[in-house]
Amino acid sequence: MTSKFCFYHQKKIKEMLVLVFLILLFSGDISSEPCHPDDLSSILAFKNSFSNGDILYTWSSDMDCCHLFECENNRVIDFSIFKLGLSGSIKPDAFAGLTYLKRLMLHKLPFLVGEISRSIENLTRLTYLDISWTNVTGFIPNNLSKLKDLQSLDFSFDRLHGSVPASLPLLPSIFAIILSRNQLTGSLPETYGHFPTILNPPVLILSHNKLSGKLPMSLVNTNFSQIDLSRNIFSGDASMLFGEHKGFQLIDISRNNFEFDFSNVGLTEALVTLDISHNKIHGNIPSKITEAFALQQLNMSYNRLCGEIPKGWKLKYRQDGFDDSSFIHNRCLCGAPLDPCKP
């Protein structure tokens, strides 16, 4: 169930971000001039990076790349490639000339290998960077800290390893960091509690990695809209993620080694998905959870919770409530949908 939550919400995040940035990009004037020679040179360098680059047969030295890609004032601002069988690694300087890019997407290119090009550091106008569902490997480049306009970063479903860069949440415009389904290790830096104060509450998706250690206390100050730390090796306290003043819609900390008292955590009415399963969390379930009228997915199974399951749920989108799978395998939970509590 947890994997389905992860896939569903990552898909929704991606759809939302794609829609937002397409609206922003297409709101500008479309240039009727030929694209800039630097852009054309970089686009051809990208094509020539691959052993089967000839599948991009319309990409030639005499083409007008503004007929293939979105441009403003004859400069390419959107370079999006997805669902192609391009095979090989990108030349280190392939993006060097695309200095006016606002959006770079390389999505579902299963035969794309090698490391993430360092020339991305020159794309200082980027607001959206997506290299996902590929076979790129290596470390997440530290030079991404130069992308001061970056709002969304998605490196999910790749083969990246090493640590999570401390610099990413310090970017002044960032609100979404998605690094799920990689092989990342180490602890979560303290800076992940210091996202910039912007209109959109941040999204942090780090599921399905090998991250470990205790969470930084700085997270108590961050009002995430969505946070997914599931299927890592985190331990200790995660109660700082919760709070009645926080407007989170999704919180998934399942399949870790978290151990804390759940009795007094704050829960918001805006909550849509809550998964704390497969940890060592103890205490009882706060009655405030019944006020979460938008709650659709709930999993508290495989913990050490005790006490009576709260009654009087005010669910708006689940008329049948939650079955026993949401609560099973705890130390001493009782009450519907589990067995009645003993006197």
Q: What is the pLDDT of residue 20?
A: 45
pLDDT tens sequence across 75-96: 999 999 999 999 999 988 899 9
Name residue, tokens 């099973």: 328
Mean pLDDT of 230-250: 95
CATH of the domain at 237: 3.80.10.10
Q: In the chain, how many domains are there? A: 1
Domain assignment of residue 4, yes or no: no
In this prediction, residues 20-29 reach a mean pLDDT of 42
**Residue bearing the bigger pLDDT, 13 or 180:** 180
Q: Can you tell me the distance from the alpha carbon of 111 to that of 87, in angstroms, rounded to the nearest whole number?
A: 5
Whether 340 is covered by a domain: the verdict is: no
Residue 56 included in any domain: no
Average pLDDT over residues 228-237: 98
Tokens of 308: 């009576």
Arithmetic mean of pLDDT over the chain:
91
Closest CA to 288 of 312, 319, 253, 254: 312
**Is residue 185 a contact partner of residue 209, using CB atoms and an 8 Å limit?**
yes
**In the predicted structure, residue 34 carries a pLDDT above the cut 90:** no
Report the C-alpha gap between 104 and 101 in whole angstroms.
7
More confident residue, 271 or 200: 271
Give residue 253's domain range.
71-334
Of the listed ranges 9-23, 34-48, 116-130, 193-207, the one predicted with least confidence: 9-23
| 16 within some domain | no
**Which contacts (CB < 8 Å, 24+ apart) does range 37-45 have?**
38/97, 38/98, 38/99, 39/65, 39/75, 39/76, 39/97, 39/98, 39/100, 40/65, 41/97, 42/94, 42/95, 42/96, 42/97, 42/98, 43/69, 43/76, 43/79, 43/98, 45/91, 45/93, 45/94
Is 314 part of a structural domain of the chain? Answer: yes
Q: What is the mean pLDDT of residues 85-109?
A: 95
Q: Cα separations (Å) of 235 from 162, 216, 340?
A: 19, 11, 32
Checking if the pLDDT of 167 tops 70, the result is: yes
- Of the candidate ranges 71-85, 187-201, 324-338, the one whose mean pLDDT is the lowest: 187-201
Q: Is residue 54 part of a domain?
A: no
Please give the Cα distance from 212 to 14 (Å, whole number).
Answer: 26
Q: Please give the Cα distance from 270 to 273 (Å, whole number).
A: 9
Residue 88, SS3 per DSSP: strand
Residue 244, SS3? coil
Mean pLDDT, residues 10-15 taken together:
58
CB-based contact 157:133 (threshold 8 Å): yes
What are the Cα distances from residue 60, in Å, to 54, 64, 68, 73, 188? 10, 9, 12, 21, 45
Per the DSSP assignment, residues forming a β-bridge with 71 are 76
Confidence (pLDDT) at 24: 41
Q: Is a pLDDT exceeding 90 seen at residue 295?
A: yes
Residue 86 lies in a domain: yes
Residue 82, domain member (yes or no): yes
Nearest-angstrom CA–CA distance, 299 and 322: 9
